[in-house]
Amino acid sequence: MNSFWRDIPDSPELKFDDWRSFEYTRKKGGGDCDNWAICSIVCGYKRGYPAKMMYIHALQEYDEGGEKKERQFDHAVHLLEKDGLYGLSERANPIPVEFVSVGELMEYYAEKRGLVSGHYEVVELQWVDGLIDAKENLRPYFWKNSVKLEDGIIPLER
């Protein structure tokens, strides 16, 4: 996917998160985090990875001129699972499939991304073929055709 990918945000005029198919995103030349996750799910499914997406809603700590601040962090990633181990397919910060639980993976991810508190949700899509050539926003179809697997809190002790 890196061969064609550019980070392209959704249009602000849309007023919603525009989830598109693999084909649409490939032709467009990229997209945002949820488009990356959808494309990764399609490619990974063919290699034996389950079609699992993780949504992360958290507070992210960052430094601005020596002062620590917090901002909202909303993100979607493809949760990779193979032989009982977990990792994340994320364009800028992929995490190898080497964690024994989603909780352990999220502790690592939260530390790496500066997430101080938050929530994550994992869903498994039951409708992978629809991600390939759908012609409109996939978000309603995704929610209708997925199974919620896990909810979790990002429990960092600082």
Q: What is the pLDDT of residues 52-68, one digit of tens each?
A: 999 999 999 999 999 99
pLDDT band at 4 (very low <50, low <70, confident <90, very high): confident
Whole-number percent of the chain with pLDDT over 70 = 84
- Looking at residue 158, what is its pLDDT? 44
Q: pLDDT tens-digit profile of 122-153?
A: 988 876 666 665 556 666 666 666 667 777 77
Under 8 Å between Cβ of 104 and 97: no
Residues 62, 116: contact at Cβ < 8 Å? no
* 63 CA to centre of own chain: 24
The domain limits of the chain are: 6-153
Distance between CA atoms of residues 157 and 76, nearest Å? 24
Q: Which of 110, 109, 122 is nearest to 152 (CA)?
A: 122
Rg (CA), the chain: 16
Find residue 124's DSSP bridge partners: 52, 147
Q: pTM of the prediction?
A: 0.84
Amino acid in the structure at residue 145: N
CB distance 118 to 59 below 8 Å: yes
Q: Cα separation of 15 and 32, whole Å?
A: 15
Report strand pairing: 6-7 vs 30-31: parallel
Cα gap 88→110, rounded to integer Å? 12
Q: With beta carbons less than 8 A apart as the criterion, state whether 66 and 57 touch.
A: no
